Amino acid sequence: MTRTGLSRVQQPEAADREAILALADEAAAVDGTSPLNESAALIVAGERPGDFHLSHEDGLLTGFTVADPRERTVVAAVRPSHRRRGIGSRLLAAALEAHPGHSVWAFGTLPAAAALAEHLGLAPVRGLLKLGRRLGDEAVGPVPEGYTIRPFAGEDAAAVVAVNAAAFAHHPEQGKLTLDEFRALTLQDWFSADGLFVAHHGPEVAGFHWTKRHDAETGEVYVLAVHPEHDGQGLGRVLLETGLAHLAEIGCTQVVLYVEEDQERVVRLYNSANFNQVNLDTSYARKDG
């Protein structure tokens, strides 16, 4: 029987996963930004649990939502050829009914997404800045006295996760990273221990800069973290510079990063390192909480 209408699925078939990824690529080509963040992509790949609502018309996938129970968020996309038909509204209404309390990401904060959020009674509750800049001859300043920086080794794993939790205690997603999740990320094709720089203060891990290479030209400041006990030493800046120099050395010509809009001190650090705003993602939630 040809599929038509909305359905809810927790473990999509391989064909559905492929259709979701293809639709996401089509939406990204039109919108200039992907409807899937890293966590949602892992859910689509079956590497993290999640919940899906799918919209079909005569067997064609016309839209989807992915609910993330770990981050309590929902992402959504509608096939460009099928927009302005109420599909997005129906999908999100169904997803939020199934997952009350979840927020909805609008990547790129596109006007149509903002209008849909308002129609559904959602208000902006969080902004995530995408910053970027070109890479060239990257200078690295001196490491603060008493500290050393070296590439990641396996025995650093638990301490890196602990520093991450302390540095991102305020963060609704990043601070939740577990040791198992960290180890799973190190098994991803893009991971390179040579691109994860760990700062040591004696026997302690004081901070780290985890870089990520997206393609031949683009790198990312994936995670930059300094334990609060080591703030104010200039460690964050030299870790940032170390990672940028590494990305330039392996051939990247540009770098991006994501940072919470309200983290003014961190944004100032990146602005002082010549990063500029590329995009803004907005999270929306029910006005009544």
Q: Is 232 annotated as a binding residue?
A: yes
Residue type at 164? N
Q: Is 145 annotated as a binding residue?
A: no
Q: Is 221 annotated as a binding residue?
A: no
Q: Is 212 annotated as a binding residue?
A: yes
Q: Exposure of 237 by Cβ count < 10 A (0-12 exposed, 13-18 middle, 19+ buried)?
A: middle
Q: Is 3 annotated as a binding residue?
A: no
Q: Is 222 annotated as a binding residue?
A: no
Residue with tokens 């001859």, as numbered in its chain: 137
Q: Is 121 annotated as a binding residue?
A: no
Residue among 281, 240, 235 at smallest CA distance from 261 = 281
Q: Is 127 annotated as a binding residue?
A: no
Neighbouring C-alpha atoms within 13 Å toward the C-beta of 141: 12
Q: Is 213 annotated as a binding residue?
A: no
Q: Is 130 annotated as a binding residue?
A: no
Q: Is 6 annotated as a binding residue?
A: no
Q: Is 87 annotated as a binding residue?
A: yes
Q: Is 48 annotated as a binding residue?
A: no
Q: Is 63 annotated as a binding residue?
A: no
Q: Is 268 annotated as a binding residue?
A: no
Q: Is 85 annotated as a binding residue?
A: yes
3-state helix/strand/coil string of 148-188: EEEECCHHHHHHHHHHHHHHCCCCCCHHHCCHHHHHHHCCC
Q: Is 215 annotated as a binding residue?
A: no
Q: Is 88 annotated as a binding residue?
A: yes
Q: How many CB atoms lie within 10 A of CB 33?
A: 17
Q: Cite the annotated binding site for acetyl-CoA by residue number.
A: 76-78, 84-89, 224-226, 231-237
Q: Cite the annotated binding site by residue number.
A: 38, 76-78, 84-89, 173, 212, 220, 224-226, 231-237, 258
